[in-house]
Structure 1
Amino acid sequence: MPGSKSDQCERSSGAGSPTQSCVYKLPKRNLSLSDAGTYYCAVATYVTQTERIVQPDLLVTAELGDDVTLQCFYPRDQTSYLSWYKQTVGQNPELISSSYKHSQDVLFYNGFKDSPRFTVHGGEGRNHLTISNLQPSDSAMYYCGRTQVNKLEFEKGIFLILKGSKSKNRTVVQQPVSEPVQPGDSVTLQCTIDTETCAGEHSVYWFRRGSGESSPGVIYTHGNSSDQCERSSGAGSPTQSCVYKLPKRNLSPTDSGTYYCAVATCGEILFGNGTKLELGKQHC
């Protein structure tokens, strides 16, 4: 009888959880009449838990006033305490909540302690954070953490962007790629923001959504990029124009997708309209 045949399985990951397809074969040679009959295949398998925290969505976009749930899954047998942290662009992380995995009681901290808009739903390997009636200040990175033997671990986090927070005087424009590109080429993606002058620093993020992906993932951050802006003053209020570039060299088919530029400035995050990058056939 075949034993472990995990080497005959191929893993594939799509929009949901990773899956695998397995094919098992039973060779029958030099057949005789005694081999006639019905053959049944039985597979003994078992489910293993994830060994780390999983936040399936790297980027979540929502409108002002919406309710949103940020998902977090954790290994039940290897976790003692759970927590949520919020990191607004340019600021230190803030502790939102903490809980013991076997308890329904959740403790909230800082400004979240008296806010009914934040709730945590736990149990059975889940530690989901729900934010209701979204406000502009909710745009941030959210990290789900777990503690095991005095060790605090995090995943990559979820970037929550509020699309309804755009201002008439602040827009992000992304230019399309002017020429077709092939594998091995180089291209520079660009986005421009025209905004009223405001105090404080701002940061720039680039996201990419590949074919078949449910949501874009963060691929690059500029940090403080105020040195890439030029100020101009006219008859009206002073304005500044900022141009941010993302060079892509030695392109391969995996670079295909739609690239989004997001700029955190003046207390809000502005989301660009996206630049589609399609790779044609390789040069002969």
Structure 2
Amino acid sequence: FINDSVPAVRNSEPVVISAEPGKEVTITCTFVDDSSADVRMWYKQRLEHVPLEVGSKFKDKDPVMSPRFKQTRFKIDRIVNGISLRIEPVTKEDEGMYFCGLGRQNSMDFSAATILAITVNLLALIPVTLKCTVMSEIRAADLRVLWFRAAAGQSFPEIIYTHQNSSSRQCEISSSTSCSLYEFSKNIIDHNHTGTYYCAVAACGKIIFGNGASVELSKLFCVLLGTHVVCIYLQTLYISTLKFVKQIKEAGVGIHVVRL
């Protein structure tokens, strides 16, 4: 648990705090006198990006979170002479500079900034390598191989990597068919890197997806020691292929995920 308080002072140096993924972070800012304020607001800004409104708290009303931050991880609370922002659990994507604003009828005062840095224990990184075999009657140089990830709750998978043609390796297959092996390596840090990973081939005006591999983290188990229950959180990686080695053939292209 990290709690940081920043006073509302113009042109002051930012405060830097750090936290590990999965922890709780609470940032607070206070003003000398906020009794006449109409609204109190939180903002987040990343390098080379415009500030984003995290949420706001109007007088005598409940806090309202902006669409991008409408998650149960973010919570705004009113405190004495100020406002707080709690993030739990914190993730790598939460890195950035946070500051709050106090809005009156004709003015807006801003607090000093807090820079939130997410630190990662390198010993906790879990490397994983996904392998995709592409069998095709088309030359490997004419194929475009991509990797996608679909996180839990996402409607569509997002593209995360595109292979250059030179990154493939030849594998043994009949002389009538071209066979190339593609690998994608990634360090799994937290739940933001889990989900279902797919390799896909773009050829002949179509994109053909492989079967996918599900990557999951964490198991929680509890044991009884004397009169106390102790719960242990395991950072364990679970990978399972979906419909393992089911070959797809369309437009002269066949794809399957060989193994993980």
Same fold (TM over 0.5): no
**TM-score by structure 1 length?**
0.37
Greater per-residue strand proportion? 2
**TM-score, length-normalised on structure 2?**
0.41
